Amino acid sequence: MAEFYVNKLDFLLEEAYMIGIFCILPILVYLAGRFLLFGSINLNHYETWQMIDFGNLALVMMVYTTMISLFILYYAQKNFEREKNGKRWLVWILLTIFSVHLITVSANLLSILLGFICISLFFHQLLLCFPNRKKSINVAWKKFILSRIGDLFFIFFCYSIYKTIGTLELREIHNLVLSMPIEERMTACFWPSIFLGIACMIKSAQFPLHFWLPETIDAPSPISAIMHAGIINAGGFLLLKFHFLYTPNSLASLIILFVGLMTVIVGGLSMLAQVDIKRKLAYSTLGQMGFMMVEFGLGLYPLILLHIIGHGFYKAYGFLAAGSRDLAPVPKQLGVSFKIIISFLILISPIAIYHKTDDIEYGVLTIFFLSLVGSLPKTLNPMAILVSIFLAIPSIFLLSLGTWMTGIESEQTQLNPMIAIISLLTLSTFSAFIILLPSLNQFKFVNWLYAYASRGFLFSQNSDKIFNKLVN
C-alpha cells in the first residue's frame, strides 16, 4: 500500500513538473522574442514586462488552470496508456494548456489573439483522436469552421481597438478608456465591444451556434474534461479581462445578456431531457455558459471568475467519473403543493428583494437557492439541509470575494432597473417552470417540448445538413 502511494506521488510530481514548464513557457517565449528583436533584455526595466499581465485575475486563473490541468493529466495518462497514439494526444493536451496560459498572462492583443487561435487549433487535433469515428470527425470540423469565424471577429476587435485607441497594449487601453468621458467611451468602445462579444460568444458555444458542444461527447473523457472545465470558459474569461470596454446598458452588453438568457433556456431544457450522462453534462455546460453571459450582461463581473472555478472543478470531476457511476433509482420528489409554493416564491421573491435592496446579485442568488430547495428529493438527508444552509449564508459575500480575487468592481449599480427586472423575471419564470415540469406531463405542450428538447431542438440535425452542403 505504501508503495502504491509513493508511485502515485511520483507521478503527480512528474505531471506538476510538466505543467509548471507550460505555465512559464509563455513568459520564456516572450522574453526570447524580445531578445531576438532588441538584442538584450533589461529585467529591471518596466517595458520588459509590459506585455505580461501580473494582475489578480491572471494570477488566480493561472493557479486554477494549473490545478485542473494536473488532475486531468493524471487521469489522461491512465486513459491513454492503452491507446496507440496516446503519447501524441498528451502532447496536444499540453500544447492546449500552454495556449490557455498564453491568453491568461498576455497583456498584448496580438499575443492574446495568438493564444485565442492556438487553443482552437490544438484542441482540434484532440477531437481527431479517433479518425475512424465519422461523427467525431464531422463535429471537429464544425467546431473548426465556427472557431475560424470567432477568430475573424477577434481580429476585427484588435483592428478596431488599434484604430480607435492607437495601441495594442492592455494596460494602455485600460487607462485610456477609463480616462474618457462616459459618452466618448461608449462611442469609442461600440464596435470593439460588439466584435469581442461575438467572438467570445462563439468561443463559449452560445445560442444559436451552440450545436457543436453536445456533439463532442464522443471524444475521450480527458478531452471532454478539458473542454468543459477549461476551454469553453475562454470566452467568459476574455470578456472579464476586457470588461472596461462595456457598460451594463450598452448595446453590446444587452446582446450578450439576451443571448445568455436564450442559451440558459435551451441548455437547461435540453439537459433535463437527456438520458446519456455525458450528453446531460454537455447540455449542463451549455446552460452554465449562458448563465455566465447573463452575469456579465448584468454587470456582475466578479462573479464570473467564481463561476468559472466552481463550474470547472465540478465539470472536470463529472466527466472523469462519468464512466464509473452505477445506475441508481430516481429519488422521489417532494409533493406538488410544496413545489407550487416554491415556484410562487421564485416568481415573487427575487424581484421584491431587488426592489428593496437595489442589488441584483441577491435576486439572482435567491433564484438559485430556491430552485435548489424545489429540486430536493423527498427522502432528504438532514445533513443536506445543513450543508445547503451553510452554503447559503456566506453566499451573500460572493461578490465581495470575487472583487478581492479579480480586482474588478461590479457595475450593477449602473444597470437600468427595467433590464434588471426583465432579466430576473425571465430567470425566475424559467426556474419555476423547471420545478413544476415533472408534474405537467399530462399537457401535450410539455410532451412536445420534451420530445424536441431530448433532440436538442434539432440544432444538431440542421447543422449537419448545412455542414454536408458546405463539404460537398
CA 214/CA 407 separation, integer angstroms: 34
Residues 315 and 342 in one domain: no
Residues 56 and 160 in one domain: yes
Domain extent for 403 = 336-439
CA 175/CA 182 separation, integer angstroms: 14
Look at residue 451 and tell me if it is in a domain: no
Look at residue 278 and tell me if it is in a domain: yes
Please list the residues that pair with 106 across neighbouring strands. 52
What pLDDT, on the 0 to 100 scale, is given for residue 20? 56
Look at residue 171 and tell me if it is in a domain: yes
Last residue of one domain, picked from the residues 290, 321, 352: 321
Look at residue 450 and tell me if it is in a domain: no
In this structure, what C-alpha cell is assigned to residue 112? 492574446
Residues 385 and 357 in one domain: yes
Residues 294 and 347 in one domain: no
Residues 173 and 284 in one domain: yes
Q: pLDDT tens-digit profile of 41-69?
A: 554 544 545 667 667 888 888 888 888 88
Q: pLDDT tens-digit profile of 219-263?
A: 788 888 888 888 898 899 999 999 999 988 889 999 999 999 999
CA 154/CA 350 separation, integer angstroms: 36
- Alpha-helical (H) ranges within 375-415 are 382-392, 398-406
Look at residue 308 and tell me if it is in a domain: yes
Q: pLDDT tens-digit profile of 204-216?
A: 989 888 888 888 8
Residues 57 and 144 in one domain: yes
CA 88/CA 92 separation, integer angstroms: 7
Residues 68 and 201 in one domain: yes
CA 23/CA 333 separation, integer angstroms: 46
Residues 274 and 362 in one domain: no
Nearest to 363 by CA among 427, 294, 299: 427
Residues 216 and 287 in one domain: yes
Q: Count Cα neighbours of 461 within 13 Å in the Cβ-side half-sphere.
A: 7
If the chain, 472 residues long, is cut into consecutive pieces of 10 residues, what is the mean pLDDT of each piece? 46 52 57 52 51 76 84 76 70 84 85 90 84 77 89 94 89 88 86 94 89 82 85 90 89 93 92 85 90 91 87 87 61 73 88 87 84 70 62 68 79 84 92 85 82 80 71 60
- How many domains are there within the chain? 2
Residues 316 and 428 in one domain: no
Residues 355 and 317 in one domain: no
Look at residue 84 and tell me if it is in a domain: yes
Residues 350 and 388 in one domain: yes
What's the chain's average pLDDT? 80
